[in-house]
Structure 1
Amino acid sequence: MRPIKQDLIPGLEERGATPRAISDGFDPARLTQARRLAEMTKKDVAGALGVTPAAVGQYETGVSKPRPDLIPRLAEILAVPPTFFLIGRPAHRLDASMAHFRSLRSTPKAQRERALAFAEQVWELAYALELRVQLPIVDLPGFAGGEVHPGAELSVEPVAAARELRRRWGLGDGPVTHLVRRMESQGIVVVMPPAGDPSAASVDAFSTRAARPLVVLTPNRADDVYRHRFTAAHELGHLVLHGDATGDSRQEKEADAFAAEFLTPHTSILPLLPKRMDLTRFAELRRVWGVSIHSLVYRCRELGLISDATASRTYQRLRALDGQPGFTAESVSNYLGEQPSLLGQAFELASEETGLTVSALAHELAWTTSRVRELLGVRDQRPVLRLVQ
C-alpha cells in the first residue's frame, strides 16, 4: 500500500448541522441503511418516533422528509449522529441479488438486509481510506482496478477454476498458507464483524462482487480456523464463478467444489489420503493442509477412496472424539494470517502519512467514533477510569 498525497483528498463540504438543515438535505437511503443496521422494522421506528409506519415508509422513499424536530430523536433511536442523514456522501447500495450468503435459507430477510447494510458501510470505509492510501490492485478474474472485465474470467467449471487461480496467484501445488491475508494481498477486502455486532451472530458468511470484491466472515459462529479457511475459500469461489448472485443450491455446491480443490488439489492430496480411515493420519493432514478432518473425509469419498457408508461411520467416530487433543476446534484468534488486516493497516499508514485520526474519519463518514474503531479493529487508547466504592 502507498500513501496518496493529502491535497488529492476532496474535503467534505461543511454544512450547517441544525435539524432544519438536516431535514432539508435528508437522504432517504441513509434512513434505510441505519434502520437495517439497527435491525428494526419501519413499524419499530415509527413507534419509537411517534409517527405512523406509513410516514417512515415515505421518509425512505423520499416522498416526504421528517420534520426538523424529529431529527434528533431519529438519530437517537438508530444510534447514529444526526449528520448521518445528510445527503452527499459517497455510497454504494447493495441488495440481496448482489451477494452470496453462506446459509441463505436459514438467514431471515431482516438479517440479510442488516448484513448488506454492514457491507455498505465497509465499502464506505474502504473508499474513504483509498482516497488516502492505494490499496492492493484487484487480481481476480473479472476485475481490474475495480472494473469488471468479463473476458478475463476463468473457467466456469469449479475444479478447473480453482486450479487456474492457484496458478495465477503462484501458489504451486502445496498447502495454501495465510489464506485470508493472501486474499487481501490480491485486493479482496475481507472483514470480520466485531464479536458483539449482530451481523456476526445472524449471518454465517457472504461475499459480493459489487465494486471492490468483499468477503465477510463471522468466526464466532464456529470459532474453528479450519472451518473458517474453508468458508473463506468458498466465498472466493463465489467471487470467481458467480457474477450473478442467485444464491441457489447449485452455486453453493460449486463454491464448495472450488474450495476443496483450491485448498487440497486433487493431484497433491490424493497420494496422501489414507486408504483406511486412519484418524491419526487425518489429524496430521489437517494441520499441514489447514482443512478440517471432516473435509478430508469428504474428499476421500469425493475422490472414490471410500464408500458413503464408510464416510458415515467415520463421521460418527469423529463426533465421539470431539474435544480430544488433535480433534478439537482451534480458534481463529491464534492464527494472524487468517485474520483480516487490510483496512486496519491502511488506516495506520494514512495516520502516519496524512495525520488521519479516528475522530476525523468518523466526522467524514458521519459515524460515531466507536463505529469506526469497531470496523477498523482499533482499540480506544484512552485509560479507563475506575471508581472504587
Structure 2
Amino acid sequence: MNGSDESPAAAAEGLSAREVAQAFDPDRLRQARQLALKTKHDLAIEVGVSPAAIGQYESGVTVPRADLIARFAEALDVPREFFVTGRPQAKLESGDAFFRSLRSTTAKQRAKATAFTEQLWELVYAIEKHVRLPRVSLPGFVGGEIEPGTFPSEPEAAARALRQMWQLGLKPVGHLVRTIESHGIVTIFAPFAKDDEVRRIDAFSTLAFSRPVIVLSPDRADDIFRHRFTAAHELGHLVLHGGQSAGDVALEREADRFAAEFLTPKSVMANVLPRRLDFGLLGRLSEEWGVSIKSLVYRSREIGLLSDATARRAYIRIELLKKQGALADRPVVQFPTELPELLSRAVSLAESQGLSIASLARDLRWKPAHVRKLLGEVDNRPTLRLV
C-alpha cells in the first residue's frame, strides 16, 4: 500500500488543466453533471458554452479546452483531476436499478441516483484493495445477475427459500440490515436524501455490479418499521427480478409480497395473529416481528383472519391513535443494527492498517468530503457565512 511505485491517482495530482484536457474522460463529465443534478443546459450556462458543446464533450466528439476544465471542476464541485481517464469505472443505466417510488421521481433525479451508485461501486472497488469484504452469499448470484431457476418465481415461495438458504428458520429477523450486509450485499443510506430536489427518491437496488447494492433513504424511511419493510422490498427485487427491466408496477407489488412473507411468514402468522381486533396483541407482535401494526392488520386481512370491513375500522383506529400521539414513528437511528455499516467499518479497519480518507480520495480522485459523504459520515462543523 505504501510502496515506492506511484499510483495512477498520485501521478494525476498536480496536472495542469492542459494535461487534464489531453487525458479527458468524457463519461466523467456526464457522471459529475448528473450527480450535481444539473442538465446540460444548466452546466452550459455556468461555464459559458452551448448545451450542444456539453453534449459533444460527454460523447467524446470533441475535447474541452484547457480553460474549461477548471470551470467544470468548480461548477461540479470535483477536483480537476477527476476528469482524467484511466481508473476503473462501471456504467449503470437507470433501467438497471429498481426505484421503489419510480412514478414520483423524474429522469434527472434517477440520473443522479444512478451516478451516485456508479461512484458507490468505485468506492467499494477501492476499499476492497485493502479489506476483504464478506463474500456475496446471495444464492445464484454470479455478478450482474442471479442464475435463472435459483429461486421460485412466486414471491412468497422465493422469500421462504431465501429464509431457508440463510438459515433464518421461522423466527423474526431481528437485525435485517445487518443480516443483509453479513451476506455481502452492499447497503447504504443515500447521502442526498435531504436535498429538496431528490428527496422523493425512496430506495433503489441493483444487481448490475460485482456486488448487489441496496440504497436506502434515511429521511423517507425515518420510521424503523417502514425502513425494515423497504429493505426487505429491495431484497425482493434482487432475488426476483434480475434481468428484468425496472419500472413495471407489477414488479413493485411482487417485491412487496416478498417483503411481507420474508418478515412475517404466513405459516407462523396464521397461528399468532388475532381473529378479532386486539391492539394489545398486535402491539406485542409488532415489537416481536419488527413490522408496523398496520402491516399486521393488512397481513391478517390477506391471510383471511380479518374481514375487509374490520381491517378498514382498524386502519381508522390506527390513524386516530397516531393523531393522539399514542402511536409514534421511531427514528431509524435508534436501532443501530438496522443502520448500514459495512463500508464504514471496512474503512475503519483499513485505517488501522495505514489507509486514510485522504489517500482513498486521491485514489478515487474525489474530494475527501465526498468520500466521507458516501460513507455516511456527517460534517457537524458550523458553517461560516460572510455577509
Same fold (TM over 0.5): yes
SS at match of 1:120: helix
1:250-289, aligned counterparts within 5 Å?
250-289=250-289
Q: CA deviation at 1:152?
A: 6.3
Choose which of 157, 162, 167 in structure 2 pairs with 1:160: 157
Structure 1 residues 361 and 323 mapped into 2: Cα distance closer, same or farther (>3 Å)? Answer: farther
Structure 1 residues 373 and 205 mapped into 2: Cα distance closer, same or farther (>3 Å)? Answer: same
2:65 is equivalent to residue 67 of structure 1: yes
Structure 1 residues 8 and 202 mapped into 2: Cα distance closer, same or farther (>3 Å)? Answer: farther
- CA deviation digits over 1:270-294, x for unaligned, max 9? 1111111222221111111000111
Q: CA deviation at 1:222?
A: 3.5
Corresponding residue for 2:115? Answer: 117
| Aligned 8 A contact 1:141 1:152 in 2 | no
Q: CA deviation at 1:74?
A: 0.9
Corresponding residue for 1:176? Answer: 173
Structure 1 residues 258 and 202 mapped into 2: Cα distance closer, same or farther (>3 Å)? Answer: same
| Aligned 8 A contact 1:283 1:326 in 2 | no
Structure 1 residues 148 and 96 mapped into 2: Cα distance closer, same or farther (>3 Å)? Answer: closer
2:217 is equivalent to residue 218 of structure 1: yes
Corresponding residue for 2:311? Answer: 311
Corresponding residue for 2:90? Answer: 92
SS at match of 2:90: coil
- CA deviation digits over 1:86-126, x for unaligned, max 9? 11111111011111000111111110111111111111111
| Aligned 8 A contact 2:144 2:208 in 1 | no
Corresponding residue for 2:104? Answer: 106
| Equivalent AA in structure 2 for residue 320 of structure 1 | L
Question: How many residue pairs end up in the alignment?
Answer: 381
Choose which of 41, 48, 51 in structure 2 pairs with 1:50: 48
SS at match of 1:296: helix
Corresponding residue for 1:296? Answer: 296
Corresponding residue for 1:192? Answer: 189
Distance 1:69 1:337 in 2: 48
Distance 1:72 1:7 in 2: 30
Instruction: Report the TM-score when normalising by structure 1.
Output: 0.92
Q: CA deviation at 1:334?
A: 0.3
SS at match of 2:215: strand
Structure 1 residues 336 and 8 mapped into 2: Cα distance closer, same or farther (>3 Å)? Answer: farther
Structure 1 residues 9 and 227 mapped into 2: Cα distance closer, same or farther (>3 Å)? Answer: farther
Distance 2:3 2:248 in 1: 45
2:371 is equivalent to residue 377 of structure 1: no
Corresponding residue for 1:229? Answer: 228
Q: CA deviation at 1:377?
A: 2.8
Distance 1:336 1:88 in 2: 38
List runs of 5+ in structure 1 lacking aligned partners.
Answer: none
Q: CA deviation at 1:247?
A: 2.3
| Equivalent AA in structure 2 for residue 60 of structure 1 | E
- CA deviation digits over 1:317-373, x for unaligned, max 9? 1111115566211110000110000000110111112x1101111111111111111
Distance 1:262 1:241 in 2: 13
Corresponding residue for 1:336? Answer: 336
CA RMSD in angstroms, aligned pairs only: 2.4
| Equivalent AA in structure 1 for residue 236 of structure 2 | G
Q: CA deviation at 1:53?
A: 0.5
| Aligned 8 A contact 2:145 2:208 in 1 | no
| Aligned 8 A contact 2:189 2:376 in 1 | no
Distance 1:8 1:150 in 2: 40
Structure 1 residues 165 and 5 mapped into 2: Cα distance closer, same or farther (>3 Å)? Answer: farther
| Aligned 8 A contact 1:200 1:221 in 2 | no
SS at match of 1:140: coil
Q: CA deviation at 1:225?
A: 0.5
Q: CA deviation at 1:156?
A: 1.2
Distance 2:80 2:97 in 1: 29
Structure 1 residues 321 and 280 mapped into 2: Cα distance closer, same or farther (>3 Å)? Answer: same
| Aligned 8 A contact 2:99 2:203 in 1 | yes
| Equivalent AA in structure 2 for residue 186 of structure 1 | H
Distance 2:246 2:378 in 1: 38
Q: CA deviation at 1:309?
A: 2.3
Structure 1 residues 124 and 197 mapped into 2: Cα distance closer, same or farther (>3 Å)? Answer: farther
- CA deviation digits over 1:7-48, x for unaligned, max 9? 999664613611011111111111111111111110000011
Structure 1 residues 7 and 70 mapped into 2: Cα distance closer, same or farther (>3 Å)? Answer: closer
Distance 1:50 1:106 in 2: 32
| Aligned 8 A contact 1:19 1:72 in 2 | yes
Corresponding residue for 2:348? Answer: 348
SS at match of 1:207: strand
| Aligned 8 A contact 1:207 1:239 in 2 | yes
| Aligned 8 A contact 1:225 1:330 in 2 | yes
Instruction: Report the TM-score when normalising by structure 2.
Output: 0.92
